[in-house]
Amino acid sequence: MALHERFTPCSQVSEAMDSDQIADQLALLNDWELIHHHGIARLQKHFRFNDFAQALAFTNRVGTLAEQYNHHPELTTSWGEVRIRWWTQKIRGLHLNDFILADKTDRL
């Protein structure tokens, strides 16, 4: 089963992953880092671009992906860079959904 077929609707998300599950999934991603912000585990990655317009265009592509799955990251757009953070607010932690969308972000 492909990763994207395993996306869980928000209403059915109930439990955050534990640290072993997180470590296993993180190893499958490309250069995403695990951070903790306000006590919540999150996936973070910086994407670099040649100017502001390209960065903002990427933010919009991630935004379209987020709307498609009704799961939304934090996107910090500045000149030549977008920082993305994925987590699941409902469970105040990480769900497989976040890894699925981090992987999809890389493929945009």
Residue 78 within binding range of a second copy, rule CB under 8 A: yes
The only residue of 79, 90, 92, 108 in contact with a second copy, by rule CB under 8 A: 79
By beta-carbon proximity to a second copy, the closer residue of 19 and 63 is 63
Number of C-beta neighbours around residue 56 at 10 A = 16
Beta-carbon contacts of residue 74 (< 8 Å; ≥ 6 apart): 84, 85
By beta-carbon proximity to a second copy, the closer residue of 9 and 63 is 63
Sign of CA dihedral 23, 29, 35, 37: negative
Residues of this chain that interact with a second copy (CB under 8 A) are 52-53, 56, 59-60, 63, 66-67, 72-79
